[in-house]
């Protein structure tokens, strides 16, 4: 038997076509075969060149092309030249169209882009957990954004929310008795956003927090005197750093996050969702 040649023609990596080809070949007792993968076939001239080689090689063609012009050309060329060919994408796409009446994006390599976006998000969320609440100040230099503020100013929820936007966030609590990490003063101030709250709102939130923990609501943590002291201390630090400050008292997490994203854009900080 002559050597079996299978050509995989794709507008992305061609991994799907190759996996299908090898899975099917494994069902036969074939030792002499070759699977050739041609990725990123995005123009007609390149496609014609590949098909010319395919004809010489007497090969089978498997293709994953979302561009209808390219896919139709492969189909017609192979029909004229009597080349066995299988379209692995468009018949499935047509079936989905018939069921949903939706229009496909027909964007090459979109699943790979989605995978990359997913892994960036996971990476950002792991980063937010690792560098939450000042656990490791070495993370400040690696962060896209650093949030600072006294207790109960939504630092952690905002860090996780922004991580879902693929932004790596570290946050540092401002406590008068605790020295600030030197790394905080070594990063550009445009990467820092301060968070604050009104005394009354903080008093209310902290009292509820103490109750949830089974502690007395009269603890110093929730006293107005202590809260005013912390707010004053935080304002001094934020002024020294020269960072923008957001009062979260009347804002939902989504609203505050939107303001932070606008600040990042104004400061020229690159957002992952804007990257191509």
- 139 among the known binding-site residues? no
Q: At what angle do helices 155-163 and 110-130 cross, to 10 degrees?
A: 160
Q: How many CB atoms lie within 10 A of CB 200?
A: 11
- 26 among the known binding-site residues? no
- 260 among the known binding-site residues? no
- 154 among the known binding-site residues? yes
- 75 among the known binding-site residues? no
- 196 among the known binding-site residues? no
Q: How many CB atoms lie within 10 A of CB 83?
A: 18
Q: How many CB atoms lie within 10 A of CB 93?
A: 15
What are the counts of helices (DSSP H) followed by strands (DSSP E) for the chain? 9, 8
Strands (E), the chain: 4-10, 33-38, 60-64, 85-87, 145-149, 169-173, 192-196, 245-247
- 10 among the known binding-site residues? no
Euclidean distance between CA atoms 154 and 167, whole angstroms: 16
- 150 among the known binding-site residues? yes
As beta bridge partners, residue 5 has 34
Which two structure tokens, joined as six digits, stand for 90? 């468009």
Would you list which residues are annotated within the binding site? 149-156
Would you list which residues are annotated within the binding site for ADP? 149-156
């Amino acid at each position: 038997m002559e050597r079996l040649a299978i050509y995989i023609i794709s507008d992305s990596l061609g991994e799907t076509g190759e996996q299908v080809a090898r899975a099917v070949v494994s069902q036969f007792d074939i030792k002499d075969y070759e699977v050739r993968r041609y990725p990123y076939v995005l123009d007609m001239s390149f496609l014609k060149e590949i098909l010319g080689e395919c004809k010489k090689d007497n090969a089978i063609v498997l293709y994953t092309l979302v561009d209808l012009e390219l896919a139709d050309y492969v189909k017609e060329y192979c029909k004229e030249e009597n080349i066995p060919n299988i379209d692995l994408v468009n018949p499935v796409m047509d079936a989905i169209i018939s069921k949903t009446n939706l229009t496909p994006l027909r964007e090459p390599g979109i699943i790979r882009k989605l995978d990359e976006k997913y892994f960036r998000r996971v990476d950002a969320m792991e980063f937010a957990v690792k560098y939450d609440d000042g656990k490791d100040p070495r993370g400040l230099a690696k962060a896209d954004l650093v949030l600072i503020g006294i207790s109960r100013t939504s630092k952690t929820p905002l860090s996780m929310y922004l991580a879902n936007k693929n932004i790596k966030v570290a946050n540092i609590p401002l406590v008068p008795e605790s020295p600030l990490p030197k790394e905080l003063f070594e990063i550009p101030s445009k990467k820092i956003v301060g968070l604050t709250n009104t005394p009354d709102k903080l008093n209310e939130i902290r009292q509820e927090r103490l109750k949830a923990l089974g502690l007395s609501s009269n603890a110093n943590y929730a006293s107005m005197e202590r809260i005013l002291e912390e707010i004053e201390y935080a304002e001094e630090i934020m002024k020294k750093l020269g960072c923008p400050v957001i009062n979260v008292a009347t804002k939902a997490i989504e609203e505050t996050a939107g303001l932070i994203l606008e600040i990042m854009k104004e400061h020229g900080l690159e957002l992952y969702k804007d990257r191509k």
